[in-house]
Structure 1
Amino acid sequence: MIAVIGSNMVDLITYTDIMPKAGETLEAGRFAMGCGGKGANQAVAAAKLGAKVTMVSKVGDDAFADNTIANFQSFGIDTQHVRKEPGFSSGVAPIFVDSNSQNRILIIKGANSCLSPKDIDDAAEDLKKCGLIVLQLEVPLETVYYAIDFGNQNNIPVLLNPAPASKELDIDYACRCDFFVPNETELEILTGLPVKTEEEIVLAAESLLNKGLKNIIVTMGSRGVLWMSENQKELIGAYTVDAVDTSGAGDAFIGCFAAHYVQCGDVSSSLHEANAYAACSVTACGTQSSYPDAARFTEMRKQFDQ
């Protein structure tokens, strides 16, 4: 079983040919609303691929809360540790997607900011049954650190996706994780080093490995995925697809990696599957709605192997 300890959001997605300038009002072509948030997306991706997932998260006491919980349950995700926080809104994420399928995202954390170490203690007995804990940075850092300590104390592997990137992240805590999974932009923020070329990305990743990271996995969009550890370096090229919407592709990658890794325990194999799954996700609109289930992924995967 996988435990995702983290955020949920309501995605408010606007599709537009051009972005407005300061003070400008433009008409956009289309709007959609869906369930999102990095933690929720990763949980749904893993569940769609057949993994057993338990979610530890907070929703508000607004109209979005019951819909978010019902959405988790529709994918078979255990929601007994998804709690309502009185006096807070649920998290929301306005997303703007341009004609080149690039996205710009704002997040309002809402009840996500209330997820606390106590919530982990309350879920402890269920968390101890898990084979992997997945974390992100849309909830308080103290809760992330507490979850890392919990995983270490109970010999549960921990994956940390440092998104959105924060310079306040304690790298010593990141080094206690089994997997550290930034994209190239987050890597640049965390290291202060350039990441314009693959060579620069490698150097930036090495700077974190030198601080004690066990495994760093850098998702690089159209350039593929880089995995580095003390004795390992593997670059997995990206698949060429007709991208429609890149929103949530990184979360799709992590959810698939988690689902595959808890089954096989092989990092390289899990990365190849996750790379293909993320490519599939960008061929449809939305975040969770773009994630194929196991049967659909198998069919789409065949096209990549031809």
Structure 2
Amino acid sequence: MNVSKETKPGRVLVVGSINTDLVARSPHLPRPGETIGGHEFSQVAGGKGGNQAVAAARMGAQVAMVGCVGTDANGAQRVKDLETEGIDCSGIEVHPAQPTGVAMVTVSDDGQNTIVVVAGSNGELTPEGIARHEAAVKACDVVVCQLETPPEAVHATLALARRLGKITVLNPAPATGPLPVEWLPLVDYLVPNEVEAAILAGLPVESESGARRAATELQRGGARNVIVTLGAQGAYLLVDGGEGRHFPAPQVQAIDTTAAGDTFIGTFAAQIAARQSLDNAIGLAQRAASISVTRAGAQPSIPNRAEVDSAA
């Protein structure tokens, strides 16, 4: 694992989902009622929480994870995978009541995907479980959450992190509607994609101007800083105080967009934990995400720091 000499590794805690991804590639995404022939299948490590933890670790951060797996072979393998990345897995609990989470992913030949997630043991994460791992929150610089675990556990994590004075990053994915009003004031960096931003803000997001309007609305709701990722169109940042800026994305030929957003989040969190500037953090996160979309799979697609640096 390579870390630039000018960067002191920070400590990132990811609280979130751990899945096994079942990935099928096909000429196009199936329409409702359509059966099509696929031409490739793989079973790989995934879950937004796990993906983001791996991305942060490959960028040089000291990473710990809090989450839940089942007693099945998938759960044991997912923990082993994370430990191989140097991630502290002492906060991952094993629950016999549910199998380890699974995501069924279809990837078309033009790189687009559809994903159906079965939460399984991810649904066993509770506020009480978060409280058991308060020491892990105390030990970190940045806490990262997503929405693939129960909302009450996410809120408990954000509230605990705020009480302990930690930097909080919320990736509101998957988004199904506006967040509870008490959540946004607990968030230092809210990082939705364009679809999630539109759902959260109740506004269309089809361009930089749409991202600006949505980010402004979310900031009014209490989020300190908002970053709307726009895929090939880059990202829009609205900082605390109202200053906005668009960051163009590197131009690449995408073959699989799975985990691109997670790569961005994990890389961004690692940079913020290392006390890098927002410009540097977003720029590195965009380069990492642009590399990930040129590769297949979730965690297998996430680059390490040396690869990202060489792409600068």
Please give the TM-score of this superposition, normalised by the length of structure 1.
0.95
Contact 1:141-1:169 at 8 Å conserved across structures: no
* Aligned mates of 1:266, 1:184 — CA distance in 2: 23
- Aligned sequence identity (%): 36
What are the within-5 Å matches in structure 2 for residues 104-183 of structure 1? Answer: 104-167=114-177, 169-183=179-193
Q: 2:269 aligns with which of 248, 258, 264?
A: 258
Question: What stretches of structure 2 of length at least 5 have no aligned partner?
Answer: 1-10
2:248 is equivalent to residue 237 of structure 1:
yes
* Aligned mates of 2:286, 2:251 — CA distance in 1: 11
- 1:123 Cα offset (Å): 1.3
- 1:174 Cα offset (Å): 1.8
CA RMSD of aligned residues (A): 1.2
Q: 2:79 aligns with which of 69, 73, 84?
A: 69
- Which shifted more, 203-212 or 45-54? 203-212
SS at match of 2:155: helix
Query: Compared with structure 1, are the counterparts of its residues 248 and 273 closer, same or farther at alpha carbon in structure 2 (3 Å cutoff)?
Result: same
2:38 is equivalent to residue 45 of structure 1:
no
* Aligned mates of 1:83, 1:168 — CA distance in 2: 30
- Aligned position for 1:87: 97
* Aligned mates of 1:287, 1:124 — CA distance in 2: 29
- 1:168 Cα offset (Å): 5.5
- Aligned position for 1:293: 304
Matched residues, number: 301
Contact 1:18-1:98 at 8 Å conserved across structures: yes
- Aligned position for 1:204: 214
- Aligned position for 1:247: 258
* Aligned mates of 1:207, 1:93 — CA distance in 2: 32
SS at match of 2:228: strand
Letter in 2 for 1:283: T
* Aligned mates of 1:282, 1:24 — CA distance in 2: 26
- 1:190 Cα offset (Å): 1.2
* Aligned mates of 2:27, 2:96 — CA distance in 1: 39
Q: 1:26 aligns with which of 29, 33, 36?
A: 36
2:295 is equivalent to residue 284 of structure 1:
yes
- 1:188 Cα offset (Å): 1.0
Q: Deviations over 1:217-245 (max 9, x none)?
A: 00000110100022321110011111111
- 1:30 Cα offset (Å): 0.4
Contact 1:57-1:112 at 8 Å conserved across structures: yes
- 1:26 Cα offset (Å): 2.3
- 1:254 Cα offset (Å): 0.5
SS at match of 1:106: strand
- Aligned position for 1:225: 235
* Aligned mates of 2:258, 2:90 — CA distance in 1: 28
Question: What stretches of structure 1 of length at least 5 have no aligned partner?
Answer: none
- Which shifted more, 203-212 or 29-38? 203-212
| Highest RCO, 1 vs 2 (Cα 8 Å, sep ≥ 6) | 2
Please give the TM-score of this superposition, normalised by the length of structure 2.
0.93
Letter in 1 for 2:242: N
- 1:265 Cα offset (Å): 4.0
Contact 2:178-2:201 at 8 Å conserved across structures: no
- Aligned position for 1:268: 279
Contact 1:94-1:105 at 8 Å conserved across structures: yes
- 1:21 Cα offset (Å): 3.8
2:50 is equivalent to residue 54 of structure 1:
no
Query: Compared with structure 1, are the counterparts of its residues 126 and 210 closer, same or farther at alpha carbon in structure 2 (3 Å cutoff)?
Result: closer
* Aligned mates of 1:114, 1:66 — CA distance in 2: 16
- 1:19 Cα offset (Å): 3.0
* Aligned mates of 1:96, 1:8 — CA distance in 2: 19
